């Protein structure tokens, strides 16, 4: 039995007179008494079919989203009744044979784009949500984008290799997702945060060019753009340095953007050193779609009469400013910015507005010299109406706080433009609040200079780089350490003792001792990339079956309770307080309602 | 800094005179005093490089598997010293500049193919094992095979879609791998045994053509060809019946076999109904590379004088036989077959040997008529030396026992030939030992006829099919149920009560109520397929980082103990007896040795 021989979206005037069999869903139904018009939708598009209820009495019972198969004749629509909104709008199909393949209950929400539906409801009925054009387009675009990644890398000689997902737990930054072992009771596997060590093993194994679209797992308290499981494009190459990685990633991005957006990117992408990104954009993921850079006024105010500035400079701080543009803010709104700056960690904020006549309006105007004000206006190319924001503070604080205002006032609402940029020369380590050093990327990242790193770990530069698109981090990579002594030096600086290093990474350091080639690689978060290319506000929109921010799937009701005998087999049990809490909850929901 | 500009395996006579930079591993080293020859290996192949130790004194310290970068001049080898075993054997590279990129410890085993190494040692040093040509070829072939799957399906309009791997536990056949949730303490996710329900949801969602190379998980007591995690090619199509599935799979197999083996398969593949497979091959995965089919002699012995046969026939049994060929077995070996048949569940086995003069030698020859013996010889085309094996028993037992002998005596040692065959018309249900019905495939498989299934569940035929290659099951598929009432009927027959069905599958049956299209699909185990195409005896050979049969990774030492505070966060604890056992084990390994 065949259900169709023609896709709805492919029909046009050239098909007039053809008898076709279609299958799909009743998208819209207009019953005009003597004739019923149905927009029949399948994955390829929509076609209007025309049914005579006198011949097909069952047709009057059709409802939206019934699944239908229908045979009919393609006819040119009468002049004036064409539907220009529809690709197939010049024709319709007069139905001679109609089969209801399955019926549909009343829908929990309308499937057209105009209906704003609560996300929890959308996720509970994700299978209906993905019949909506936007979600369907996202799923299709993701498939197209990933296919472009694969073909680019395959053509360049990369092998696609699967690394294991039940691995040894080696807590890095984020929390591992743990999996109890049944055959080795009391032991646990971890789901991988990334294939990092396995792809390095592949390089040691002589593979030379590896890629994988890899499922990864991170048990963090979810931020809006994170999921418990996520997917990354993971690549690694032997006898590689930074240039090979960057060129490969650029070629992948060119193909993906061409395939998904039909846009030609120009390469190479600009490169911004980490320190410059922090100084001029206030963050390590600069959005370069708009200028509005942070400028340094430290020299301008070297002999400042304004005590607040002079004091900061004496203490080794800086004075930096930003032209936030013609915001048209009221006095109280401007004072609100001062509060925001303080909340963000700055000791204060100075605002200045350029008046129509070129004069400067500011609470601190009287403390500033004409030269100082003119210098700021000139450096920031400020003109009538522009709002200038200035922070005097430690360098990092000044730039970070101004960086927040930059993003707040400058960021375009949509991703019409695509600005890729590399941020390079990341530090090897960063300091925690307690002053300890942690790996800026991960502990397998090669320093630019091993001896310098040993001598000056707090300022040492790594061979590490991020790819940033429209101010969002797409991914990061590095040249890896291929020398076991350097690897152990890093563990030392990180305060990982010899015993702990042996216990956690001994098997890996051992592997480095067998002729490890120099190697480097990168990983790109696929949902992040696709959400930007599809101009979606969050990654859940490009994930077929996402979870909520608390890790719940409202569709299947996962996670869920399991039988005790399953836990016994695994050698584990719920903690007494968790079990008690569960039982109390169950008793409550089972209790008859009172009243 | 660049490490190479030329791949070792690409050099030939045409390159003579070129200066090249190579990078790779010292595969073999021959120090002939005045000159050192090294076979330099990279992923592309091997080239002989020639080093003058007078110019490069460090070269005398080179050892196998050091990683090197070297600059030199390609020269034609002197006549007579060409190496015909090597693709690049007409040339060598005279080295002017040599850099040791990294050294290598003494190897735990030699990397040439002639060395047979214990598998546990190979797995512990998998990164060295994969430098061996065979493992490297398997990894490459798998990448090539999977790429062929993707391109075939992508060209046919399939979307590659990722389904979640942290899902709701819905125990089907095998045990779920469970994952404790940290944010929903006391609840668990399961890792998927297959994407079955999610791909059906995609069809309900209007996707129409889906595929995925999907990681799946099954916590079974491992057989030699199973792993805790495995990968399947998973496909599903809407408005599909069996023919579309089979044609799609055949096109995929044609492309994979062409890409990996360079062989053209002819299609369509033969189809064997389930019952015929059982009767004529003794199993539902017939190896059709060799004939040796099981023949039925029930009619031939309808009036048998041989009491053992007559008794079986009276009890409703059958008499079936097999020509096992000229085995040249001794009398005691033949009697051993009788014991083997009994162990396999048959009440006995009759053997007959065709003598050179056409006479039959058999312990039961005197009980059989000439016509009976001639009939068997003729049906089985037996000739001088052939061994005929006959079982009289219930039909299923007779065929299954003969099927074992068929495989034992007929199966070719290598997979030089590739015989694909479809087994179709599987039963909907099978009986457990206790007489209960379980789903033969899975409970979402459509019966051929719903009413017949309800009336005669024990004999009902399903729209289900397996793909078999060389007697091994590659995968299975079916037309799915798209009607919620049929789905509930299946649950009823399986003894899944309304409450249990609602609790376990309620969300799925609800989804079926919104205009579900008819759909069908299939899944193919990738490691199984690749191990056959690579003529490997087990699937671990085509898995980059396999685990042992007890789920252990000897390389990383996974699974392993985790900190108690990690368990506290997850709301779980080890069971007291498991914890006690662990502590005892640790105390033992920590105790000083006595003596």
Residue-wise pLDDT tens digits, A274-298: 999 999 999 999 999 999 999 999 9
The CATH label, of 3.20.20.370, 1.10.10.10, 3.30.70.980, 2.40.50.140, for the domain at A8-102 is 2.40.50.140
Residue A594 scores a pLDDT above 70: no
The tokens of B235 are what? 């496909």
Q: For residue A166, what pLDDT is reported? A: 98
A208 vs B43, B190, B229: nearest CB: B43
The answer, as to whether pTM is greater than 0.90, is: yes
Q: Could A558 and B166 be called an inter-chain contact, meaning their C-beta atoms sit closer than 8 Å?
A: yes
Q: What average pLDDT does the segment B387-398 reach?
A: 96
Interface-testing mutation among A150, A205, A479, with chain B (most B C-beta atoms within 10 A):
A205
CA nearest B161 in A: which residue? Answer: A143
Residue-wise pLDDT tens digits, A447-501: 999 999 999 999 999 999 999 999 999 999 999 999 999 999 999 999 888 888 8
B180 vs A42, A178, A552: nearest CB: A178
Q: How near does any CA of chain A get to the CA of B353, in Å? A: 48
Q: What average pLDDT does the segment B278-303 reach?
A: 96
Reported as a pLDDT band with limits 50, 70 and 90, residue A165 is: very high
CA nearest A171 in B: which residue? Answer: B562
Q: How near does any CA of chain A get to the CA of B215, in Å? A: 9
Q: Could B168 and A514 be called an inter-chain contact, meaning their C-beta atoms sit closer than 8 Å?
A: no
Q: For residue A519, what pLDDT is reported? A: 98
> Does the fold of domain A291-410 match that of domain A8-102?
no
Instruction: Report the b/e string of A57-90 with b at 16+ CB within 10 A.
Output: eebeebebbbbbbbbbbbeebeeeeeeeebbbbb
The CATH label, of 3.40.50.1820, 1.10.645.10, 3.30.1360.30, 3.30.70.330, for the domain at B291-410 is 3.30.1360.30
Max mean pLDDT among A436-450, A489-503, B230-244 falls in: B230-244
Q: Could B146 and A159 be called an inter-chain contact, meaning their C-beta atoms sit closer than 8 Å?
A: no
Q: Please give the mean pLDDT across all residues of chain A.
A: 94
The tokens of A326 are what? 């013609």
Q: What average pLDDT does the segment A345-371 reach?
A: 94
Cα(B463)–Cα(B448) distance, integer angstroms: 5
Number of A/B CB contacts below 8 angstroms equals 355
Order of strands, edge to edge, in the sheet holding A350-354? A295-296, A318-325, A387-393, A350-354, A360-361
Residue-wise pLDDT tens digits, A361-409: 999 999 999 999 999 999 999 999 999 999 999 999 999 999 999 999 9
Residue A434, exposed/middle/buried by CB under 10 A (0-12, 13-18, 19+)?
A: exposed
CA nearest B197 in A: which residue? Answer: A556
Q: For residue B460, what pLDDT is reported? A: 95
Q: How near does any CA of chain A get to the CA of B408, in Å? A: 32
A167 vs B164, B185, B558: nearest CB: B558
Contacts of B237 in chain A (CB under 8 A): none
Residue B172, exposed/middle/buried by CB under 10 A (0-12, 13-18, 19+)?
A: middle
Number of other CB atoms surrounding residue A585 within 10 Å? 11
Instruction: Report the b/e string of B236-271 with b at 16+ CB within 10 A.
Output: bbbbbbbebbbebbbbbbbbbbebbbeeebeeebee
Contacts of A234 in chain B (CB under 8 A): none
Reported as a pLDDT band with limits 50, 70 and 90, residue B435 is: confident
Q: What angle do the packed helices B526-533 and B242-261 form, to 10 degrees?
A: 40
Residue A595 scores a pLDDT above 50: no
The three-class DSSP label of residue A584 is helix
Of A223-227, B74-78, B568-572, minimum mean pLDDT range: A223-227
Interface-testing mutation among B5, B166, B486, with chain A (most A C-beta atoms within 10 A):
B166
Q: For residue A28, what pLDDT is reported? A: 95
CA nearest B175 in A: which residue? Answer: A566
Residue B114, exposed/middle/buried by CB under 10 A (0-12, 13-18, 19+)?
A: exposed
Q: For residue A223, what pLDDT is reported? A: 65
Count of CA atoms in the C-beta half-sphere (13 A) of B565: 2
Are the beta carbons of A8 and A44 closer than 8 angstroms?
yes
Interface-testing mutation among B40, B111, B127, with chain A (most A C-beta atoms within 10 A):
B127
Domain definitions of chain B by residue range: 8-102, 291-410
Residue A130 scores a pLDDT above 80: yes
Q: How near does any CA of chain A get to the CA of B107, in Å? A: 8
Interface-testing mutation among A559, A561, A582, A586, with chain B (most B C-beta atoms within 10 A):
A559
Residue A14 scores a pLDDT above 80: yes
């Amino acid at each position: 039995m065949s259900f169709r021989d023609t896709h709805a979206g492919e029909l046009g005037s050239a098909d007039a007179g053809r008898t076709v069999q279609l299958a799909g869903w009743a998208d819209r139904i207009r019953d005009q008494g003597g004739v019923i018009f149905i927009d029949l939708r399948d994955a390829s598009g929509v076609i209007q079919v025309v049914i005579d209820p006198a011949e097909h009495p069952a047709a009057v019972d059709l409802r939206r989203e019934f699944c239908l198969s229908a045979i009919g004749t393609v006819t040119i629509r009468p002049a004036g009744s064409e539907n220009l909104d529809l690709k197939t709008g010049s024709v319709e199909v007069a139905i001679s044979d109609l089969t209801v393949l399955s019926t549909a209950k009343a829908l929990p929400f309308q499937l057209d784009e105009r209906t704003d539906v609560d996300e929890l409801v959308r996720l509970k009925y994700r299978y209906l949500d993905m019949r909506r054009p936007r979600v369907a387009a996202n799923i299709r675009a993701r498939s197209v984008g990933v296919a472009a990644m694969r073909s680019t890398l395959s053509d360049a000689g990369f092998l696609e290799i699967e690394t294991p997902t039940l691995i040894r737990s080696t807590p890095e930054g984020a929390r591992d997702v743990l999996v109890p072992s049944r055959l080795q009771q009391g032991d646990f596997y971890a789901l991988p945060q990334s294939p990092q060590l396995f792809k390095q093993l592949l390089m040691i194994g002589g593979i030379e060019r590896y890629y994988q679209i890899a499922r990864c797992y991170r048990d963090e308290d979810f931020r809006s753009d994170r999921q418990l499981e996520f997917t990354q494009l993971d690549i690694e190459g032997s006898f590689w340095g930074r240039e090979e990685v960057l060129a490969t990633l650029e070629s992948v991005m060119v193909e993906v953007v061409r395939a998904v957006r039909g846009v030609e990117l120009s390469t190479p992408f600009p490169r911004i050193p980490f320190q410059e990104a922090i100084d001029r954009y206030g963050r390590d993921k600069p959005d370069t779609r708009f200028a509005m850079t942070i400028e340094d006024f430290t020299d301008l105010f070297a002999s400042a009469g304004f005590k607040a500035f002079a004091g900061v400079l004496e203490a080794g701080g800086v004075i930096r400013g930003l032209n936030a543009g013609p915001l048209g803010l009221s006095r109280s709104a401007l004072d609100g910015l001062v509060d925001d700056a303080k909340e963000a960690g700055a000791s204060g904020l100075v605002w200045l507005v350029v008046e129509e006549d070129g004069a400067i309006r500011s609470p601190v105007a009287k403390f500033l010299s004409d030269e100082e004000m003119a210098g700021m206006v000139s450096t920031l190319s400020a003109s009538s109406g522009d709002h200038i924001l200035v922070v005097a503070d430690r360098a990092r604080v000044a730039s970070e706080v101004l960086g927040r205002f930059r993003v707040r006032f400058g960021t375009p609402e949509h991703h019409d433009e695509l600005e890729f940029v590399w941020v390079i020369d990341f530090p090897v380590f960063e300091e925690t609040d307690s002053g300890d050093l942690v790996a800026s990327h991960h502990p397998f990242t090669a320093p630019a200079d091993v001896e310098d790193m040993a001598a000056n770990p707090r300022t040492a530069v790594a061979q590490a780089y991020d790819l940033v698109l429209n101010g969002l981090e797409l991914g990061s990579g590095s040249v890896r350490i291929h020398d076991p002594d350097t690897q152990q030096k890093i563990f030392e600086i990180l305060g990982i003792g010899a015993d702990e290093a042996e216990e956690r990474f001994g098997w890996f350091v051992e592997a480095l001792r067998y002729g490890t080639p120099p190697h480097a690689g990168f990983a790109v978060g696929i949902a992040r990339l696709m959400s930007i290319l599809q101009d979606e506000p969050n990654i859940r929109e490009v994930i077929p079956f996402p979870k909520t921010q608390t890790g719940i799937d409202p569709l299947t009701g996962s996670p869920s309770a399991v039988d005790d005998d399953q836990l016994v087999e695994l050698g584990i049990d719920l903690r007494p307080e968790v079990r008690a809490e569960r039982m109390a909850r169950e008793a409550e929901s089972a209790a008859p309602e009172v009243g």
